[in-house]
Structure 1
């Protein structure tokens, strides 16, 4: 029997779907995914987490290198940062930046480093860029694959 790891809700407590956004500015899920999360099967939840992991990787990987996934995971556990162990490491990095960009001096203790082209950027600037691009990519994905199909 294969046991599927349970996906955590990606909710970060900053939901904008209640004010009419089709994509949540906090967790980047689509409005229907936020509303229906508790009724989804574990497979459906995993598909959502995989999509979020893929999208955030596309925007974060050009800025930050994760050179030691095990150290990232170990450090997140030690710091008691809530993250979905079933998600990809760039989603873990996103969670770390959400809670610690203004207080962390360096990503090195987390097995990550800012790429050379962005060395002058603060972690808060890196976090803002990733978050902005992650939201934009999620919106584009929603518009391309879901909004036009429901018209």
Structure 2
């Protein structure tokens, strides 16, 4: 298991300090960012659920997670941080960000790229 698990959606790229209503980094509303530390576990769970649904909607258009255990194991092996509060689809953006422009052996990570990914290059 990877060390330093984070228990907040924050990724350190907060745009709410610049007046955005929704953070461009974690996708929380500004009031959720401000009040996060005061939220109950149930309130945090509700926010995590909304964020997870958003990520699933996007990732499911491009990838199928064929083996969640393999994805978790490879991300741990690569020492990539991912939110355990999210479903495996929610981990995929972290993998893509970490890879940058390097090719990803999707099958090794338990992923199957869907036709919508054809012609797209990692950024």
TM-score class normalised by the smaller sequence: 0.7 to 0.9
TM-score, length basis structure 2: 0.86
Within 2, Cα distance between the matches of 1:42 and 1:103? Answer: 38
Larger fraction in helix: 1
Report how far residue 116 of structure 1 moved.
Answer: 2.2
Partner residue, 1:80? 79
Partner residue, 2:38? 39
Structure 1 residues not aligned, in runs of 5+: 1-5, 125-151
Residue deviations 1:4-31, cap 9 Å, x none?
A: xx97111111110000000000111110
Q: How many residues of Structure 1 are paired with residues of Structure 2 in the alignment?
A: 119
Please give the secondary structure, in 2, of the residue aligned with 1:117: helix
TM-score, length basis structure 1: 0.72
Alignment of 1:1-151 (within 5 A): 8-124=7-123
The CA RMSD measured in Å over matched residues stands at 1.8
Residue deviations 1:80-137, cap 9 Å, x none?
A: 111111211111112222222323433222111221232221233xxxxxxxxxxxxx
